Every structure is written in C-alpha cells, then in structure tokens.
Amino acid sequence: MATTTPIGQLERERAGPAARDVVRPTRWREHAFDWGVNLLLLAGGVLMLAPFVWAFSTSFRLGRESFSLPPQWLPTDWRLDNYRAVLDALPFFRFVFNSFKVAALITLLQVVTCSTAAFAFARLRFRGRDALFFVFLSSLMIPQYVTIIPIFIIVRRLNLLDSHWALILPSAFSAFGIFLLRQYFLTIPRDLEDAARIDGAGFFEIYRRIMLPLVAPALVTLTIFSFNYHWNEFFRPLIFLTTWEQMTLPLGLTVLRGYLGTGNTAAVMAGVTMAITPVLLVFLLFQRYLIEGITLTGLKE
Amino acid sequence: MEATAGSSGAPRSALGRWRRRETFAAWAFLLPSLVPFVIFVAGPLLAAVALSFFRYDILTPPEFAGLDNFRHLFADDRILAVYRNTVVYVAGTVGLETVLALLLAVATHRQIPGVLRYVFRTAYFFPVLTSLAAVSIVWGYLYHTNFGVINYYLGTIGGPQIRWLTSSAWAMPALVFLGVWKSLGFSYILFVAGLQSIPRHLYEAAAIDGAGRLSTFANITLPMLSPTMFFAVVIALINGFQIFDSPYIMTQGGPGDSTRTVAMYLQEQGFRFFDMGYAATVSLTLFLVILVLTLIQFRFGRSWVHYG
C-alpha cells in the first residue's frame, strides 16, 4: 500500500495501527500538507460562524456600541438590557410561543399522516399503489408560490386569515415525509409482519405495535426536519399573519428590526440570538439524524 | 368486510378475503394524507391554472379574462427583469456553492482528528439549519456601507468601500454570497456521502499504478462523484429559483428592481396589488421551470440510492 494520496491515509487508518506505524520517507511532507489543509479548513470554519458570533456578542453590548469599529468579536460586556428592550418593545415571548405551537402541531400532524401513508405504500398491496405514490412524489416539484394563491383564497373563505390554522392545515400533507418514512419501512423484514398476522394481529396493530417502534429513528429525523423547517418559515407567515398576537418568530424579527433597527441594533441581535439558540441546541443534540436524513433522501423539505 | 358472493369474480377463498381487507386497510391508512393532498395541493394547483384565465382582486367576483394574463405576461418588461435577476442569482449561488462544497468534501475526506472533523462539520453545516430571515437581518448589518464589518475589513487591506445593498451593481452579488454561505453545508454533506460510497478498490488500483493526487481526483473521484454532483446541482437550482426571504428582507427588491426575484414579483402582484389572476400566471411559469429541471434530473440523473 505505497500511496501518498489522502485516501491512502484513510486506508491505513482502516488497516489498523500496525500499518499506520510504517515509517516512510515522505511522511513529514504528508503531515505538513495535511496540517496546512486543516488550518485552511479551520479558517474557513471560523468565517462561517463569524456572523453568529457577531450577533451573539453584539446582543450583550450597549446599543450605541453595536457599530463600533474595529469590530469586537468576543463579548466585551454581558448586559441583558437589550433582551429586556426586546421584551418591552414587542410581545417577543408570544412570537416564540407561536412559532413553537405552529411548528409542533404541524410536526405532530405530519408524523401521523406520513407514517400511515408510508406504511400503506411500503407494506400493503393494493391496486394503484405505485401510481398514487408517483403522484404524491411528483407534488415535490410544485413550488409553494403556485398553491399559495388558491390556498389564500380558501383560507380567507374559511375566515382563517391571521390564524395559525392557515399555516397548520395546509401542511398536513408532506411528500417529503412520506418518502423519507417509506424508505425506512421498506427495510423491515417481512417475517415480523407474517408472525404477527399468524398471531391474529390486524393491520392497525401491525402498524402501531410492530412497525412504528422499528422506524423510530426515522420518526425522529422527520420530527427534526419538519420542526426546524416550520420554525424557520418566513413566506407563509408573511402572507397569512398580520397582527403581533399571531406572528411567528422570523416574521417578528423583521418587525423588531423595523421597530428598533435603526436605534438599537443590539436589541435586534438579542432577538436573533433568541431565535437561533434553540436551533443550535437541536443541531448539537441530533446531528446524526439530520445528516442521515439528508444523505438518505437528498432533500431538505 | 365479509366477502359476499363475488360479483366482481373475487375468489371466495381466505386469500381473497385477505386481499380485500388489505385494500380496504390501505385506503384507510392513506386517507389522512390523501384528504389534505386533494384540498391543499392538487386542488390549488388546478385552481392556479384556472385562475390564470381570470381577473380576480379578492373583493369582487372573478371575471373571465381569456388570455389577457398571458398577453400581459409576454408584454411585461418586469417579468423579463425578474427572471434575469433570478437566473443571475441561481447561476452565482449554484456555481460557487458546488465548487466550494466539492473542495471542502475532498479536503475533509481523509484521516482527520475526530474533534477537528466534528468542528468542521458543525461550522460548515450549521447555517443550513438557521432561518434565512434571521440571518438575512444579521447580514444586512454586516453589509452596511459605513459601519459594516465587511467594509471595515476591506478597508484595512486597502480595498474599496462597497455599497453592498444600495448599489444595483453589488446588491445581487451580496445576496449570492449570503446564499452560498447559507446552503454550502447542504451540498457538502451530499458530497461527503457520495465520496464515501466510492469503492475503495478503485483507489487501491490507482495507487498501485502510481497515480498522483491530481490524476486520482480527475480519473476516479470526479467521475464517480458525478451522479451526486448532478443531483446536488439540480436540488440547488430548484431551491435557487424560489429565493424570496433574503431579497425581501435585505433589499426589498431594490435598488429599483435590481434584486427583485420571480417569487418576490408574484408576491407583489398577488398580495400587494391583489391581481390574483396575474400572480397565478407568473407562478405557473415558475412551476414550468421547476418541472423542466425535475424532468432533467429524472431523465439523466441516476436515482439517489447510495447508502454510505
């Protein structure tokens, strides 16, 4: 295995410690190259996170210091005044609560509708199954901007403008979720189902007691994707919600910027920090599920 | 669900009964998604097509307009402008994103200390998960001409002070940079998975032949990764064509119409001017674009079934 490619190193790593300990003349050059690349990657990574660091540090400073140059990257101060300003100026906790409520209800709804449909598509035989699955999947290519106009008209007829149901009900169907869960349902061996049938279990029991627990990781993945997507959603709330009482977080942030943006940037950054921190926590906790979900489906809703 | 004397000719065996029950159960399981699909996806799609033949301002009843909306579409200078803007945005983000993500994926696909690997993945992927609206607000401040962090650092290295969001020359590039920063991590993750699925024996063979890094990359990595790249590019194109949040928040489509995208234009027509018929017509053109892109992926791309 005489090789100088980076892949070669991976090979040696997999081959075990014995192979890795072989001393070869080009080793120091490889090392220097590797660490050069690592340093570059690290610099890039710092750049990627810089906007968050700036927002975070600024949120704890005096408002008038927001634009002091040269920029201070680390928090120089730990004032909570800006957080208080945000909460005084706007019903910010209300925005947080609204976002949580909308995202949680949509997620719950989707877990039900997607898992039942995915079960039918993956484990049951019926005429028209493949055709219907194809139709469902095709809906992935309909931009939300096409359906939003008729949905707006429906929602207005139902008197649901400026209500959270305008966001929740139209999200009950998710082609992405059905596709994701079906992929998992397909991997479950048939024997388990057959055994349950012989024991006299009905379809719902098979779905509920055997299948659902086995696809739990997929349900976690769907939950994270769906919750994150709707927590961040901006366009539909902009169209449907008009009063502060109903607004969700991203929309609320733009209102906050309009309200305090020129006078107190620090307060706006306090709002942004509050909006992004939960996403960061979820990411650190569930990174594996997210990456798995993307590589399995190649989609992000 | 007892199988009565089969008028449809179904066998009265236990198996036949089971099949019927299975079909019945399947539709019962499908109902919770089928109903919202019909009401909120299929119905509205057809309604959008129908609306494009009407004049409708929400307040007064819709009025049949024949092909007026389509005539308007072909005579509309602004639709050309917003499509040009959107195409520029898409070309910029997709091009930069793909090249950078590929470099990143190749650079991290080797033996790296676990901590560093985790740091890289977190740093490059995290922006994908954040709200585009929230980060657009942050970047709006970073791009500020006089007080922005970006111009400050440009100044320290003797660069020009760019009017990022207030000049029609730079507003679109500013949005492109934000877009690349935001979704780079997504393509990166796809490429990493793609790299992991390349069979190891290919690299072993190349090593035995004495191939260097560059020729291994050009002759093995790139061709083996091309289905993944194709897929990632199509997804990025589809997402790019629908860009709305960042121009809406950072430039309001300005200066002039220089950063107004197709999605912004139809939002303006539909929900500011309440010209629902024309907004629906514009939305159908967007649908057409996405449809063509998807068909291209369907026709030429291999299906995505790499289990790393």
- Domain-by-domain residue ranges, chain A? 25-49, 90-297
Question: What per-residue confidence (pLDDT) applies to A6?
Answer: 44
pLDDT at residue B284 is higher than 60: yes
Question: Please, which pLDDT band fits residue A26 given cuts at 50, 70 and 90?
Answer: low
Question: What per-residue confidence (pLDDT) applies to B226?
Answer: 86
Question: What per-residue confidence (pLDDT) applies to A25?
Answer: 52
Look at B186 and A300 and tell me if their CB atoms are within 8 Å. Answer: yes
Interface membership of A286 toward B (CB under 8 Å): no
Question: What per-residue confidence (pLDDT) applies to B177?
Answer: 97
Dist CA B268 CA B245 (whole Å)? 13
Interface membership of B200 toward A (CB under 8 Å): yes
Interface membership of B67 toward A (CB under 8 Å): no
Token pair of B98 as six digits: 């793909």
Look at A295 and B308 and tell me if their CB atoms are within 8 Å. Answer: yes
Mutate to test the interface with B, among A1, A96, A136, A146 (most CBs of B within 10 A): A146
Question: What per-residue confidence (pLDDT) applies to A92?
Answer: 83
Interface membership of A55 toward B (CB under 8 Å): yes
Question: What per-residue confidence (pLDDT) applies to A63?
Answer: 65
- Of A45, A181, A290, the closest CA to residue B190 belongs to A290
Question: What per-residue confidence (pLDDT) applies to A260?
Answer: 67
Question: What per-residue confidence (pLDDT) applies to B301?
Answer: 65
Q: What is the pLDDT of residues B240-270, one digit of tens each?
A: 999 999 999 999 998 999 999 999 999 999 9
User: Which comes out higher in pLDDT, residue A27 or B272?
Assistant: B272
Q: Cβ(B258)–Cβ(B250) under 8 Å?
A: no
Look at B42 and A139 and tell me if their CB atoms are within 8 Å. Answer: yes
Token pair of B23 as six digits: 């079909």
* CB nearest B23 (choices: A2, A126, A147): A126
* Domain A90-297 CATH class label: mainly alpha
Considering only CB atoms, which chain A residues are within 8 Å of B27?
A: 120, 126
Name the CA dihedral angle for B278, B280, B283, B284, rounded to a multiple of 10 degrees: -100
Backbone angles phi, psi at B232, to 5 degrees: -60, -40
Question: What per-residue confidence (pLDDT) applies to B6?
Answer: 41
State yes or no: ipTM above 0.85: yes
Q: Best-predicted range by mean pLDDT among B135-139, B148-152, B220-224?
A: B135-139
pLDDT at residue B239 is higher than 80: yes
Q: Which domains does chain B have, with CATH numbers?
A: 14-51 (no CATH), 69-300 (1.10.3720.10)
How far the first Cα of chain B sits from its last, in Å, is 45
pLDDT at residue B169 is higher than 50: yes
pLDDT at residue B63 is higher than 50: yes
User: Which comes out higher in pLDDT, residue A266 or A36?
Assistant: A36
Question: What per-residue confidence (pLDDT) applies to A40?
Answer: 93
User: Which comes out higher in pLDDT, residue A269 or B27?
Assistant: B27
User: Which comes out higher in pLDDT, residue A14 or A171?
Assistant: A171
Question: What per-residue confidence (pLDDT) applies to A191?
Answer: 86
Question: What per-residue confidence (pLDDT) applies to B210?
Answer: 85
- Segment holding A170, helix H or strand E: none
Question: Please, which pLDDT band fits residue A90 given cuts at 50, 70 and 90?
Answer: confident
Question: What per-residue confidence (pLDDT) applies to B211?
Answer: 83
Q: Which of A34-43, A119-128, B146-155 has the lowest mean pLDDT?
A: B146-155
Q: How far is CA B128 from CA A143, A221, B135, B183, in A?
A: 20, 16, 11, 5
Find the mean pLDDT for residues A259-272: 77
Q: For B248, which residue in chain A has the nearest alpha carbon?
A: A235
